[in-house]
Amino acid sequence: MNAKRRVAITGIGLVTPVGNDVSTTWDALLAGRSGGAEISLFDASGFPVHIAAEVKDFQDGDFVDRKQRKFANRSHRFALAAAEQAFRDAGLKPTADTATRWGCAVGAGMMTSDFGDLATTYAHSGADGELHADRLLSDPAANDPMVFCRSQATAGLSLLTRRYDIRGYATSVHTACASGGQALGTAMKLIRRGAVDYALAGGFDSMISPIGISGFCLLSALSPDNATPQRASRPFDATRNGFLLGEGAGFLVLEEWTAARRRGARIYAELAGDGNSLSSYRITDSPPDGDGPIQAMRAAIKDAGALPSDIDYLNAHGTSTGMNDRSETAATHAVFGDDVMRVNVSSTKSTMGHLIAAAGAVEVAVCALAIHRGEMPINANLVERDVDCNLNFVTGSPRRQRVRVAMSNSFGFGGSNSCVVVRHPAEVDGASNEGAEIRR
């Protein structure tokens, strides 16, 4: 019954470390122009890692309602901007008639207070390294409802649903680096099962703050290559030594397929399949044999009614950590078998860095664009391939070919694995639906 309803991607919006819109981001991804640089958002000179891939020259005036601005932190402003881009791109927004038929699913970051608000609370209510709860009663940050609103897990969701009057199923999810992918999968299923006909779906995050950087530094997860920020993220390279922290947002406008066709919408791709699994191995480690990611990849392909042989492009999770890239390679070999060297693979984290809760959403958008434009962005900075990472990487220059089906991998701390499959619209319209039914 669900199989009868397909989901079309009709709008895309991106705010990334390599561009504040889709076309600028895309050009940078094709060229492999890294967004890595010395951190400018705060004085990071004393931190073990003081490089990151920041969103640059971000002007939110075009996108963010002035009244909403005080309820929005940096990541929420990225979300509002990317969502507005996606709606304009789709040429469709909720109306009084359709509001209850619109859903919203977002992957939101894990940070609570902004650093500045936490510092205010320490200055007022902390002493000798401890909170003095009695002082909170007169603490300006602890009594400011705006500070509270910005720090809530549903802050971004509430800004988006209010701004666009989205009155159907609206949800916020968080599975660390898998959040964005799981949000898109959730939205796809809402349309499939008829809970809504349209959805705004995506992810947003910004952890480039003293606390965010600290959290990853303490886990030794970041590349310490402070002198060469543009080379710091080099997934699958033998010399890789950690990820480059990015920030940003990616949003898609999704519509039930036949409705999108009826209104003559430009369809980038079908959002065709979603697969999730738990590695249940260790909280931060990837299983060396790919167990966990394998099941998610297979489930996503099956859910799309596709076969591994249909996949032309894999946007890898590819964090540039030793463990992930080996584990992901093992999983990719297990899923594609003898066919594995046919599949074009790149990790666009090589260019954008790791957008954490936004990563999955941005990278599914990259897959949709690869299908729409018939070109695949490169895995930048891959000079000396790790012998344990033998895949058909897109390096040097982008590959231009028709992409029938593409897949995005996202694997999070906590062991959640999210894989999302997108399909060329001509493969949908050309294929007999009955054939797809049988495979499913």
Partner 1 sequence: MTNASSVVVTGTGAVCGAGMTPDAILDAITAGHSAIRPIAQWDTTGWPCRVAAEIPDFNPRALVDDRKLHKLIRRTDLVGLYAAGRAIDGSGIVGHRDALSADDAAVYSDRTGVYVGSGGGNYENQYDYFPLFAAAGGELPAFGRELANTVNPMWLLRTLPNNVLGHIGIKHGLKGSNACITNHSVGGTLAVIEACEALRNGEADRAVAVGHETPIEPQMVLYYHRLGLLATEVLRPFDARHDGSLFGEGAGALVLDTAASAAARNAPALGEILGGGYACEAQGLAAIRDDGDGLARAIVQALDGAHLAPADIGMIVAHANGTPQSDLSEAAAIRRVFGASIPPVTGFKWAIGHTIAAAGILEAALALTALARGIVPGIANLEELDPACAELPVSARAQTPRSKVALILGRGFAGTDAALVVRGA
Q: What angle do CA 427, 429, 430 make, to 5 degrees?
A: 65
Q: Which of 227, 212, 170 is nearest to 195 (CA)?
A: 170
Identify which of residues 23 and 143 has a Cβ nearer to partner 1 in the complex: 143
> Which structure tokens are listed for 122?
């320490």
Q: Smallest distance, Å, CB 33 to partner 1?
A: 28
> Which structure tokens are listed for 4?
């009868």
Task: Tell which positions 395-424 bind partner 1, by CB under 8 A.
Answer: 412-416
Which of 317, 372, 389, 419 is flagged as catalytic?
A: 317
Active site includes 174? no
Task: Tell which positions 228-257 bind partner 1, by CB under 8 A.
Answer: none
Query: What amino acid is encoded at 165 in this protein?
Result: D
Largest CA distance in the chain: 70
Q: What would you report as the CA-atom Rg of the chain, rounded to the nearest whole angstrom?
A: 21
> Which structure tokens are listed for 163?
């701004």
Tell me if 392 contacts partner 1 by CB under 8 A: no
Task: Tell which positions 81-110 bind partner 1, by CB under 8 A.
Answer: 99-100, 104, 108, 110
Q: Smallest distance, Å, CB 117 to partner 1?
A: 10
Active site includes 354? yes
Which of 354, 367, 372, 419 is flagged as catalytic?
A: 354
Residue count (the chain):
440
Active site includes 177? yes
Query: What amino acid is encoded at 216 in this protein?
Result: F
Q: Smallest distance, Å, CB 308 to partner 1?
A: 18
- Binding pattern to partner 1, positions 181-220, x when CB under 8 A? -x---x--x---xxx--------------xx--xxxxxx-
CA distance 258 to 288: 42
Beta carbons within 8 Å of 344's beta carbon, 6+ residues apart: 312, 313, 314, 376, 392, 394, 399, 401
Task: Tell which positions 117-136 bind partner 1, by CB under 8 A.
Answer: 118-119, 121-123, 126-131, 133-134, 136
Q: Smallest distance, Å, CB 353 to partner 1?
A: 17
Tell me if 9 contacts partner 1 by CB under 8 A: no
Q: Is 188 exposed, middle or buried (0-12, 13-18, 19+ CB in 10 A)?
A: buried
Identify which of residues 28 and 356 has a Cβ nearer to partner 1 in the complex: 356
Task: Tell which positions 157-186 bind partner 1, by CB under 8 A.
Answer: 157-158, 161-162, 164-176, 182, 186
Q: Which of 406, 394, 352 is nearest to 203 (CA)?
A: 352
Task: Tell which positions 256-295 bind partner 1, by CB under 8 A.
Answer: 276-284, 292, 295
CA distance 423 to 273: 9
- Binding pattern to partner 1, positions 29-68, x when CB under 8 A? -------------xxxxxxx-x------------------
Q: Which of 180, 363, 259, 303 is nearest to 8 (CA)?
A: 259
Identify which of residues 242 and 415 has a Cβ nearer to partner 1 in the complex: 415
Q: How far is CA 396 from the centre of its chain?
A: 24
Identify which of residues 133 and 431 has a Cβ nearer to partner 1 in the complex: 133
Task: Provide the annotated active-site residues.
Answer: 177, 317, 354
